[in-house]
Amino acid sequence: MNDLSDYLDSTHSSVQIDLRNDEWHCEGGIPSLPGWYYISTNAPIDLLQRQPLWSSTYQQARNKQTAKVRNYNIQQRAGRFTDRLAPYFNTKGVYSGLASKLLARAREHTFADPGTAGLALARYPEFFDFEWIFHFVTLHRFMADCQCEEVLLHLGEQVWRAKHGWPILCAE
């Protein structure tokens, strides 16, 4: 477990998120490999707390049906933060997770389809003036021949959160 914890804190790759460029993740060289990531920002907590979900429903392109937006409610998630619980939250690494394909997950957190679970950061113009960075490490660099990727990915996600504090935009 210590090896995994040390690896997650080791040298990782970081890509500046450009909320005005829907190809930022491809241009940044994020691989379509399994791994762990976190998103950091210098946006203030009160700004995150003022961002209600951009819409509750949307019209699906394929069948023109009205469906519920599945993007994460940033206001609701950031609203859990209190000064009393501040030591347990991570307010700089605001989201962390695992991905079977890091490239797809980077896209989903910035330019997500409304039917996809993700932050959809580009839908919030007030975020454009702040720095957002996608940091990641791949599973294969840690363990090239992992027999149980899903278990190790979940373990790593929780190890990082326990060590660095719960990211303010992650679900309970």
pLDDT digits (tens, 9 = 90+) for 63-119: 999 999 999 999 999 999 999 999 999 999 999 999 999 999 999 999 989 999 999
Residue 11: is its pLDDT beyond 90?
Answer: no
Number of domains in the chain: 1
Output DSSP code: residue 98. E
Residue 59's pLDDT band, with cuts at 50, 70 and 90, is: very high
Extract the tokens encoding 63.
Answer: 């069948």
In Å, how far from its chain's centre is CA 152?
Answer: 18
Residue whose entry in the numeric block shows the structure tokens 């997500």: 112
151 assigned to some structural domain: yes
CA distance 168 to 78: 6
172 assigned to some structural domain: no
Give me the mean pLDDT over the 108-137 stretch: 96
45 assigned to some structural domain: yes
Q: Which domain holds residue 74?
A: 2-167
Extract the tokens encoding 104.
Answer: 């797809």
Residue 33: CB atoms within 10 A of its CB come to 15
CA distance 171 to 27: 29
Residue 52: is its pLDDT beyond 90?
Answer: yes
Q: Mean pLDDT across the chain, nearest whole number?
A: 96
